[in-house]
Structure 1
Amino acid sequence: MKKILLISDTHGYIDKKILKYCQLADEVWHAGDVGDIKIIDQIKKLKPLRGVYGNIDNNEIRNELTKDCIFICEKMKVWITHIGGYPSRYKKRVNDLLKTKNIDLLIFGHSHILKIIYDKKNELLHINPGAIGRHGFHKKRTMVRFEINKKTIENIEIIEFDR
């Protein structure tokens, strides 16, 4: 079983509260718009990091992270990418890849809107953790914590902070 902390859209901001949650996880996953390479460095000092770059990220971050991160965690196939849409409204590139990759857990960032949706058509769980940074229109900063036990997601927790 692995404990995962899922964050996105830091936009150059991370604080001690977020880093405390990083310490409690086995791995930290970042769904893009990191905003500052120092955030990657800070997280990697604490825990293993899997992540993707977002549309605001510079070349330094793009050299460190990829556009797509597809991997197996426990027995679950995970795909993280920054921009992709939502179930029934995925971008064409997402739909095309879903046809060939047999994904169990699909993670996006970008919208700053927290969503956890079961996609019946593709038989996968879609998560967007919202934005944990201070930049944007969101009223609450959010991240998601959960456990992966073989091929099951358990104990999903939404963590909220005031702006």
Structure 2
Amino acid sequence: MKIVITGDTHGKTLPRRLLDECRTADLILHTGDWKSLEAFHILSQFAEVIGVSGNVDDEVMKGKFPLQQVIQVGDVQIGLVHGHGDKKTTEKRALEAFEGVPLDVLVFGHSHIPMLRYINQTLVINPGSPTDKRKLSRYSFCFLHIDEEIRAELVFFANKQ
């Protein structure tokens, strides 16, 4: 199974690089900060979209997407959360959101800083943002492949058109 992971799209036009990968996705995960339903509708043309709401999302978006959720993909349990809040780092808030929940993969957003690493026995992923790189040199999103193995790859690109 190929999962495309994105987030922090902030209502901006989705780049072709991301959409090209979504064409072959089995599932798309969004880490929140949609800002409008437009990105959801576009992504839904390619595959099932599961997402959470973030700190810039309005009541409509919060009504459609929970603050966090756990998704079962085969025998892999994935936690999905935006990661916003007070104090601590975004990563620590995301980890604490699922404290006591056995996860194989934890996906979060908010910081726009792409990250891919293991913490204890959990693969922790922040896809960054395909539309708002902030001070980084490139935009980003992530692939997650689940079959006999779990493999993840961050994708960095310079042109968001």
The CA deviation at 1:136 is 3.4
The CA deviation at 1:104 is 1.0
Deviation by residue 1:87-135 (Cα, 9 ceiling, x = unmatched): xxx13x8436322x21111111001101111002xx2110001111137
Residue type of the alignment partner of 1:7: T
**Amino-acid identity (%):** 24
Q: Does 1:131 align with 2:129?
A: yes
Q: Secondary structure at the match of 1:53?
A: coil
2-structure distance, mates of 1:33, 1:136: 15
User: What value does the CA root-mean-square deviation take over the aligned residues?
Assistant: 1.9
Compared CA separation, residues 96 and 158, structure 1 to 2 (3 A) = closer
Deviation by residue 1:21-55 (Cα, 9 ceiling, x = unmatched): 11111111001111221111111122100111111
8 Å Cα contact 1:50/1:69 also seen in 2: no
2-structure distance, mates of 1:153, 1:27: 15
* Alignment: residue pair count: 153
2-structure distance, mates of 1:40, 1:135: 20
- TM-score with structure 2 setting the length: 0.86
2-structure distance, mates of 1:125, 1:157: 12
Where structure 1 has 5 or more consecutive residues not aligned to the other structure, the ranges are none
Compared CA separation, residues 96 and 58, structure 1 to 2 (3 A) = closer
- TM-score with structure 1 setting the length: 0.85
8 Å Cα contact 1:54/1:110 also seen in 2: yes
Where structure 2 has 5 or more consecutive residues not aligned to the other structure, the ranges are 85-89
Moved over 6 A (4+): none
2-structure distance, mates of 1:145, 1:135: 18
Deviation by residue 1:129-159 (Cα, 9 ceiling, x = unmatched): 1111137333311001121115x312x3322
2-structure distance, mates of 1:118, 1:20: 28
Question: Corresponding residue for 2:6?
Answer: 7
The CA deviation at 1:19 is 1.7
Question: Corresponding residue for 1:74?
Answer: 74
2-structure distance, mates of 1:130, 1:119: 18
Question: Corresponding residue for 2:87?
Answer: none
Compared CA separation, residues 6 and 149, structure 1 to 2 (3 A) = same
Question: Corresponding residue for 1:36?
Answer: 36
- The structure richer in helix per residue is 1
